[in-house]
Amino acid sequence: MPTLFGPYTSFSKQYLQTHAIPDAHPTDIFALAVTPSQVLSASGSSNIRIYSTKGQIIHADTPEDEHPYPLVQTLEKVHPLGCHHICTSLDGRTAASAGFGGELNIWTCSEEGSWTLKGTITPEPKKAGEHWALALSENGQYLACTTHDGRINVYDTSTISSEGKAEKITQYETKGSLGMSVDLSSNGSMTASGHQNGSIYIFNNTTSRMAHSLSGLIKPVRSVRFSPACRYLAAAGDARIIALYDTQSGEQIANLTGHASWIMSVDWNWSGEYLLSGGYDGKAKIWSVERRECVATQTESEKCLWTVKWLPKAASARNETFVTAGAGKGLAFYREASGT
């Protein structure tokens, strides 16, 4: 513990790149989603690729497996114009992906870990491509989806029909600015959205009303994430700061500064102690939420990191792992070095 009079010690952590999958896709990787045993990657190409994270060696000091993250499935030609968002439910059984053509695909995972298409929600011809960012509820029943004109549509994925329709159970209206990011709290009680014009909203899913309109970022909000215990909301984007809000009071409780460029993606670790963020300049940062400071920075290249994700903590894992992807077209896995 640093004292008031003692020398200031900065608590830093060390992460090592443990594995890389170069050229996982032929184009930019725009989104990653994780389940307890897999990583799903979506890109400008028409395929979704799935890598297994099971059976990897957990301790950094033991020898590496040659293929710790093997490719286990490729969903071929599922988004003809490319795929911009993908998300999974917490239980890892459902996934949703959104394509540049405006189509939404809903996927289910078998016990063996193989994905099949459950159904497609096709846009009405006149409003082609209006869906943008996605989030699934804990068990995958509800899919929240932002639109170009600022709405958040919530679909019941259990009602999906072969004609490409699903029942819309709620529609949240905002001021008409593109919804760039969306999240559902793990307890299912709240929806949050971040918009092009800097607005951030929290909605109460029970009453279907807006609970908070959060101020503070002004510039496009590219990522919003609820903490695992649903107490905080992290929001980040072109303002180059990560803003933390108390989800009950709506008050802004912290600003994490240090990114020199746009922040494209943020993610909480399983315990809510750390935040991971990825920037347009290719830098990934790990933040201690308690200390309100950056504890590690990773620079692989100067290429944009469209997406960064912690892998869910496996029961036996001692050191946490995260994965980054973006304009570099590959996946990079990092693990906290032992003994820090």
Partner 1 sequence: MPYDTKTNIAGEIPNSVQEKIGLIFQGLNRDLLEQRDGLALTLRTRTRQASSSSHENGNARDVKFRRLCFPGRGVEDAWRFTVVLRMLELVHEALSTGKTLSKRDIYYRDPALFGSQTHVDRYIDDIAFTFDVPRSALNVTAVAKGLILGAVTFCRRDGSNANAAVDREGVLVPPLSELLSVSMKAVKWVLVIEKEASFRSLASSNFWDRLSTEGVLLTGKGYPDIATRALLRFLSEPSPQNGFASPPVYGLVDFDPDGLAILATYKHGSFALAHENSSLQVPQLKWLGLRSEHILMESDDPHASQGLMMLTPRDRGKARKMLERSVPGSISGALEADSEEWRGALQVMLMLNVKAELQLLDAQSGGVSELLESYLAMQSRYTASLTRNLHVDSP
Chain positions contacting partner 1, by CB under 8 A: 26-28, 30, 44, 46, 80-82, 84, 100-102, 128-129, 148-149, 178, 180, 196, 220, 238, 260-262, 280-281, 304, 306, 327
CB of 104 to partner 1, least distance (A): 15
Selection from 197, 247, 195 nearest residue 222 by Cα: 195
Comparing CB distances to partner 1, the nearer of 82 and 330 is 82
CB of 57 to partner 1, least distance (A): 35
Q: What 3-state DSSP class applies to 127?
A: helix
CB of 335 to partner 1, least distance (A): 28
Torsion of CA 245, 250, 251, 253, to 10 degrees: -20
Comparing CB distances to partner 1, the nearer of 1 and 260 is 260
Comparing CB distances to partner 1, the nearer of 285 and 335 is 285
Rounded CA separation 131/127 (Å): 9
CB of 279 to partner 1, least distance (A): 8
Comparing CB distances to partner 1, the nearer of 28 and 320 is 28
Comparing CB distances to partner 1, the nearer of 68 and 326 is 326
Q: What 3-state DSSP class applies to 177?
A: coil
Comparing CB distances to partner 1, the nearer of 140 and 328 is 328
- Do strands 252-257 and 152-156 pair parallel, antiparallel, or not at all (unpaired)? unpaired
DSSP state of 173: -
CB of 80 to partner 1, least distance (A): 6
Selection from 231, 183, 232, 223 nearest residue 203 by Cα: 183
Rounded CA separation 197/217 (Å): 9
Q: Which own/partner pairs from 255-262 qualify as long-range (CB within 8 Å, at least 24 positions apart)? A: 255/216, 256/287, 256/292, 256/293, 256/294, 258/285, 258/293, 258/294, 258/297, 259/283, 259/285, 262/222, 262/237, 262/238
CB of 259 to partner 1, least distance (A): 9
